[in-house]
Amino acid sequence: MTERFDLVVIGAGAAGLTAAGGAALFGLKVALVEAGDMGGECLNTGCVPSKALIAAAARASTGRSGARLGVALGEPVVDFAAVRAHVDQAIARIAPEDSQERFEAMGVAVIRARARFLDRSTILAGNRRLKAGRFVIATGSRPTLPPIEGLAEAAPLTNETLFGLETLPSHLIVLGGGPVGIEMAQAFRRLGAAVTLIGAAPWLGREDREAVALVVEQLGMEGVVLLATQAIRVERDHEVRVHCANGEVAAGSHLLVATGRTANIETLDLAAAGVETGADGIVVDAGRRTSNRRILAIGDCRAGPRFTHVAGYEGALVAARVALGVRGKVDWRALPRVTYTDPELAQIGPTQAEAEARYGRIEVTREAFAHNHRAVTEGDTRGFLKLVRHRGRVVGVTIVGAHAGELLLPWAQVITGRSSSFALGSAVIAYPTRSEIAKAAAFATWQPALFGRWPKRWARLRARARSWRV
């Protein structure tokens, strides 16, 4: 027996939950298919646990550094079991927002099963056959291991297993010089582990070199051993040994791999649906449509930027497209990203180097926190704000310093030229930041009108007509 829906969403991470919830609020008949944990990678093994761990590590660092402000707290006593409990509690506090019960209360049919396409408009979810006018694929991504001799056999940690550690590693080796590797290296060092970070130069390769230098300097000052080289072989017996291209050998108790991710699409049988894929995942256009116009793909499973805030933005975009026919396209002019180290490194729009390559002639304004009175009174004047303009128009902003991610919001509005409360409610805000509360308030102001009687009536008329052109 075939069940029919207006929309079927595959994947209950940030992207899929936003798409399913939004479409349901417009009154559409929606199914949400998820074989794993509700909330996806971000809630369970990504943003939430990592930032909770970073917060605990920051408290330990504060204890060590208080003397410079006249308050000597001494070397902190780290109870790793209690740190783990804090991480688990953070997940548990947020989990109800992503739960099956919440989405069923919205009217979404939540199906806990693995999905695969049978043809261009039908999937099999467990033993249930579902047909829909439109599908959204939001299956996310998973960590991938680089082809290093002996690495797989060494059973390394990834973000999927790191937060399940029962005890603090005595010596953590981290492979990967991107945001995740850098963040976890600093956090575990602050919690008391010896840490060696291995990655091919440059560290944080996408980011502004001047800003990265401050982050790397801080890691070195805190005792993280940085090896700017490639790992070529891994051995494991009573310890882990990583042999590097420069001849050095790093030995430790645990190994974390944070070198890249792969789209979760292998089991979907996308060929049966006529969906084109590439090396980075599902191929989509600016409206997130795949080669099968019935099917859209959002979040980490498609080629493009992989951030939780991008996934949520795309989920809202396709919900409006499917329900109302709003043919929105992604706009990356003011796309933010934050590396949650101390100091934080935040970027919106292109870096200085990227802007020079894109526009040629640019103007750069630089303001140091050394001249910011709040920074002076807090005793933390590290960092700066760098403003990049082209023909007088702001195109990019780099901020490195305490809470840098919280300072991006006004620049999103400057770059896009949209500053109304409605625009703020649909802006792309870096996740997770406290600045998101401004977006939440703006969205709540407009929510009654957005999901009111007339939008719902229009969405239902479109659904009944079965003549959507998305």
Q: What is the pLDDT of residues 137-163, one digit of tens each?
A: 999 999 999 999 999 999 999 999 999
pLDDT digits (tens, 9 = 90+) for 447-465: 998 899 998 899 888 887 7
pLDDT band at 469 (very low <50, low <70, confident <90, very high): very low
pLDDT grade for 466, boundaries at 50, 70 and 90: low
Q: DSSP characters for 157-171?
A: B-HHHHTT-SS--SE
Angle at 58 between CA 53 and CA 60, to 5 degrees: 100
Q: Check if CATH label 3.30.390.30 holds for domain 336-434.
A: yes
Contacts of 357 (CB under 8 A, 6+ apart): none
Mean pLDDT of 79-88: 97
Cβ-based neighbour number of residue 368 at 10 Å: 14
pLDDT classification of 69: cutoffs 50, 70, 90: confident
- For 242-274, write each residue's pLDDT tens digit: 999 999 999 999 999 999 999 999 999 999 999
Contact 197, 187 (CB under 8 A): no
> What residue segments make up the domains of the chain, in order of their start?
2-38+99-143+262-324, 152-259, 336-434
pLDDT at 269: 98
**What pLDDT does 467 receive?**
46
Given a contact cutoff of 8 angstroms between Cβ atoms, the answer to whether 343 and 382 are in contact is yes
Q: What's at 91, amino acid-wise?
A: I
**Cα(24)–Cα(15) distance, integer angstroms:** 14
Question: With 60 as the cut, is the pLDDT of residue 468 above it?
Answer: no
Same fold, 2-38+99-143+262-324 and 152-259: yes
For Cα atoms 317, 318, 323, give the angle at the middle one, nearest 5 degrees: 110
Superfamily the domain 152-259 falls into? FAD/NAD(P)-binding domain (3.50.50.60)
404 pLDDT higher than 70: yes
The total number of residues shown for the chain amounts to 470
pTM: 0.95
**Tens digits of per-residue pLDDT, 405-455?**
999 999 999 999 988 898 899 899 999 999 999 999 999 999 998 899 998
At residue 470, the pLDDT reads 44
Q: Which two tokens stand for residue 375?
A: 């920074």
- CATH for 2-38+99-143+262-324 (3.90.1150.10, 1.20.1250.20, 3.40.190.10, 3.50.50.60): 3.50.50.60
Share of the chain above pLDDT 90, in %: 90
pLDDT for residue 440: 94
Span 12-30, average pLDDT: 97
H helical segments located in 163-208: 179-190
Q: How many CB atoms lie within 10 A of CB 405?
A: 24
